[in-house]
Amino acid sequence: MDLFDLTLPIQAGMPVLPGDPPVTFTRLHSHGGDGYELTRLSLGSHTGTHLDAPRHFFPDGATLDRYPVDRLVGPGLIVDCRPPSGHGRIGAALLAERLRPFAVPSKSFVLLRTAGAFLSIEAAQALLDAGVTLVGTDGPSLDTEPYPVHRLLLGQGVLLAENLAGLERLGPGPVTCAFLPLAVVGTDGAPVRAVAWR
């Protein structure tokens, strides 16, 4: 089994989306002064590779802890959806063309190589119609304000994984995935350790 880490490393000062808190590491205890080391980590719930839960956009939406761990591991499909022009939105027609060689199992995870392109609402609806339960992207977000794709997918309980790293190392096709967040309670999202294997 080849195991691939899809996680963007979290480090102090790393880029974050505008409005998100900066990432800081503060040394509270040191080997020299205390005989052990302890660091306070300060970061937002959507730092680095992370999962969005419905609470991110809906006041009554499920928080991430409401998803059992078996809902975070399962069959996935990596799809190269980079637009031919290198920019623009990923439309339903492009998505359908790139999905054509593969079967999309119901309740699967679809991970998109996007080169930073955003997903159209029509493409998001097609993924919803296919029965996917998690949509991932190698970009920092699936869309931008007013976030119609987030609202559509999260409104139906579909989790979103953003800032995936290294999808190009696997290439398109089926994988098995695990997206394991910190076991924090009551949050709209959390950083994850994301891995895939074949």
pLDDT at 138: 97
Q: What is the pLDDT of residue 153?
A: 98
- In this prediction, residue 41 carries a pLDDT of 97
Looking at domain 45-197, its CATH superfamily turns out to be Putative cyclase (3.50.30.50)
Alpha-carbon torsion, ordered 76, 189, 86, 198, to 10 deg: -20
Q: What does the pLDDT read at residue 28?
A: 98
Q: Which residue in 120, 110, 123, 112 sits closest to 88, CA to CA?
A: 120
- Three-class SS state of 151: helix
158: which strand partners? none
Q: Which residues of the chain have pLDDT under 50?
A: none
**pLDDT score of 1:** 82
Specify the amino acid at residue 134.
L
Note the pLDDT of residue 40.
98
Tokens encoding 102:
């593969």
Query: What is the model's pLDDT at position 106?
Result: 86
Global pTM exceeds 0.85: yes
Phi/psi at 143 (nearest 5 deg)?
-160, -175
pLDDT in the model for residue 154: 98
